[in-house]
A and B are shown apart, each in its own frame.
Chain A
């Protein structure tokens, strides 16, 4: 399983593979020999790695946590592949201005607006299924739907134009 992990804002790709009951990790392409032992079910972890011992204290949920090593705090955000795709879509929308694009290949499951509709920021425009996840694609800003570039059940590639919004008059 691949995880995109941001540590204090810096991103790392970590691949966790279970083999013969053991967990193997590859961090940014390099295998890391890491012995991970949970001390309790409250986030205390004993880690041995590369000739060093680390006592970690982990707090938070599966998406956002903080890890403390020797009094120093690391802010961590975690996405798996599917979450990353969904979040990337959201991020792209926020930046995309008037033109809403597909950031990943997928299938348009349902259109929620039609041309000429007035939409408000964060209003769902359509549902895009990607990696077996249905994602609501929402309006990045208030506006009017000028062009719908896709139809229902249409397969789109990454980067394809979905909806063009114009600013409300």
Chain B
């Protein structure tokens, strides 16, 4: 096995990889930007190398710096995590050329699944069912109108080079096509420097279901069943679960085989995820993510597998060593993404300094996070603070456990989406399994919670009363506001502050 590897990422996923490395006796080397000098992944690694810079492109996205860090510390391989350079075929190629091992799929497989149009073409060739639509992108509104006649409305417009919900539009009728195309294409052009659009039929009651696959370098491939990720807002996943209520053993087998065929069609190796759209019993290939997914822990919980360990074994050249028939799901798992956002205000990002942190505990509760008290949450990086994962013997007990765990969790200093997740888990339709990707938008999240109003009113009055009394007494330490104001001054500065500047801004008591 590898002796030392570089973890080319930050946040919870860097920590996730570091943890498995530690357990396997591999020395994990972290990289960090100027902003992340004190981050948990920097501290918990065997060694950590400064990439300098603050912006992602000056640090985690800088291929030269990352490769230099790996070589200077004697690493044998690079694990990219997700995001950043993880799906960059050029980077994978360069890593290999430098004599390092790339812990991920071969560059050709990344390219084969790289954009939606290429992957769709490849999948059609491999007889993988795809959503009715165009294989080629369209560049202007007139072409879109003509194509729409063949596909049939409603139609989904998607940026050819897109992701994350940018450059996406649903078009219900002919009259809306021209203007929808212009705005979506404009968005795509500014986000991805490519305004061409991919068109496909928009499916009703769609559910997002994906299959986890593993391929070793010896021609063996297995799948680890499905994850359902239909609870989304603006095409960003909020709650994921495994298995899915709508997938029968037969359908799981069929989807697994399709997913393996999809992987084989591009010569896949290592861990990957094949995403499907499920609509009323039918499944259609969406895309393949050629990396570890954020929501991989729900699969780990249900199948008792450490996917990062499998990634490392495969990259080192080991055989899988087990058959599909030995892979059986057990029980139910949920994951809730804890993002720094305000669910009562349209999920706008929330920034601040983590003032309080209480992690949930208990049996079958897992918290994947890189949070610590005093951490500054800024707009520079992904707003995901933590992932809360639970397991239960069946779906309802897993829901009950997740509700309990969310009630224990307390993240102070920023707003998080946790109350919204709690609202979903309390909803009877969700509990019955009756939901699709539009579910979250049907919930009225504008109203905060009710129930303990009187306790809150009384506590707020006492809180205010004590604050006023302390202010009158002039005790400096009593004022939380000074502390908060200082943190605010700090994290809104970018590039990273100099401490003396922050202190100068501290209000006098």
Task: Give A26's nearest chain B residue, CB to CB.
Answer: B458
A20: interface (CB < 8 Å)? no
Q: Given B356, B418, B447, B477, which contacts A43 in the complex, CB threshold below 8 Å?
A: B356
- Known A25-B458, A72-B419, A74-B449: A65·B480 in contact at CB below 8 Å: no
Tell me if A16 and B355 are in contact (CB < 8 A): no
A142: interface (CB < 8 Å)? no
Tell me if A47 and B455 are in contact (CB < 8 A): yes
Q: B29-37, B107-115, B292-300, B404-412: which lies at the A interface?
A: B404-412
- Name the A residues within 8 Å of B477 (CB-CB): 41
B504: interface (CB < 8 Å)? no
Tell me if B464 and A78 are in contact (CB < 8 A): yes
How far in angstroms is the closest Cβ of chain A from B453? 5
Q: How many inter-chain contacts with C-beta < 8 Å in the A-B complex?
A: 133
Tell me if B355 and A8 are in contact (CB < 8 A): no
Tell me if A61 and B454 are in contact (CB < 8 A): no
A34: interface (CB < 8 Å)? yes
- Name the A residues within 8 Å of B415 (CB-CB): 66, 73
Interface string of A52-66 (1 = CB under 8 A from B): 001111110110011
Tell me if B478 and A41 are in contact (CB < 8 A): yes
Q: Which residues 434-490 of B sit at the A interface, judged by CB distance below 8 A?
A: 447-468, 477-478, 480-481, 483
CA of A34 to CA of B457, assembled, Å: 12
CA of A61 to CA of B449, assembled, Å: 20
B413: interface (CB < 8 Å)? yes
How far in angstroms is the closest Cβ of chain A from B430? 16
- Known A43-B356, A71-B422, A72-B449: A23·B465 in contact at CB below 8 Å: yes
Which residue among B412, B415, B422, B477 has the maximum number of chain A CB atoms within 10 Å of its CB? B412
Tell me if A1 and B465 are in contact (CB < 8 A): yes
CA of A27 to CA of B327, assembled, Å: 59
- Name the B residues within 8 Å of A78 (CB-CB): 460-461, 464
Task: Give A54's nearest chain B residue, CB to CB.
Answer: B455
A132: interface (CB < 8 Å)? no
Tell me if A43 and B412 are in contact (CB < 8 A): yes
A153: interface (CB < 8 Å)? no
- Name the B residues within 8 Å of A45 (CB-CB): 459, 463
Q: Given B356, B403, B448, which contacts A8 in the complex, CB threshold below 8 Å?
A: B448
CA of A1 to CA of B409, assembled, Å: 34
Tell me if B356 and A71 are in contact (CB < 8 A): no
Tell me if A65 and B463 are in contact (CB < 8 A): yes
Interface string of A25-61 (1 = CB under 8 A from B): 1011000101010101111110101000011111101
Q: Given A28, A58, A61, which contacts B459 in the complex, CB threshold below 8 Å?
A: A58
Task: Give A8's nearest chain B residue, CB to CB.
Answer: B448
Tell me if B419 and A71 are in contact (CB < 8 A): yes
CA of A30 to CA of B422, assembled, Å: 32
Total interface residues in chain A, CB < 8 Å: 47
- Name the A residues within 8 Å of B284 (CB-CB): none
Tell me if B458 and A32 are in contact (CB < 8 A): yes
Task: Give A78's nearest chain B residue, CB to CB.
Answer: B464
- Name the B residues within 8 Å of A8 (CB-CB): 447-450, 453
Tell me if B463 and A73 are in contact (CB < 8 A): no
CA of A25 to CA of B458, assembled, Å: 7
Tell me if A62 and B454 are in contact (CB < 8 A): no
CA of A38 to CA of B447, assembled, Å: 28
Task: Give A69's nearest chain B residue, CB to CB.
Answer: B452
Tell me if B458 and A34 are in contact (CB < 8 A): yes
How far in angstroms is the closest Cβ of chain B from A51? 12
- Name the A residues within 8 Å of B347 (CB-CB): none
Tell me if A59 and B449 are in contact (CB < 8 A): no
- Name the B residues within 8 Å of A59 (CB-CB): 355, 412-413
How far in angstroms is the closest Cβ of chain A from B481? 6
How far in angstroms is the closest Cβ of chain A from B500? 24
Tell me if A5 and B412 are in contact (CB < 8 A): no
Q: Given A23, A34, A43, which contacts B480 in the complex, CB threshold below 8 Å?
A: A43
CA of A45 to CA of B466, assembled, Å: 12
Tell me if B460 and A71 are in contact (CB < 8 A): no
A126: interface (CB < 8 Å)? no
Which residue among B451, B452, B461 has the maximum number of chain A CB atoms within 10 Å of its CB? B461
- Name the A residues within 8 Å of B481 (CB-CB): 61
Q: Given A49, A65, A66, which contacts B455 in the complex, CB threshold below 8 Å?
A: A49
A88: interface (CB < 8 Å)? no
Task: Give B469's nearest chain A residue, CB to CB.
Answer: A18
21 A-B residue pairs with Cβ-Cβ distance under 8 Å, sorted by A, are A3-B461, A5-B457, A10-B453, A12-B453, A14-B458, A14-B460, A16-B465, A25-B462, A27-B457, A42-B355, A58-B459, A58-B463, A62-B464, A65-B463, A66-B415, A69-B455, A70-B407, A71-B403, A71-B422, A74-B456, A76-B456
Task: Enumerate the 3 nearest inter-chain pairs by beta-carbon distance, A residue then B residue, closest first.
Answer: A72-B449, A14-B461, A70-B407
19 other A-B residue contacts (CB within 8 Å) besides A54-B452, A54-B455, A58-B463: A7-B457, A8-B448, A8-B450, A10-B453, A12-B453, A12-B454, A16-B465, A27-B454, A34-B462, A42-B480, A47-B455, A55-B410, A57-B410, A61-B481, A67-B460, A69-B452, A73-B344, A74-B449, A76-B460
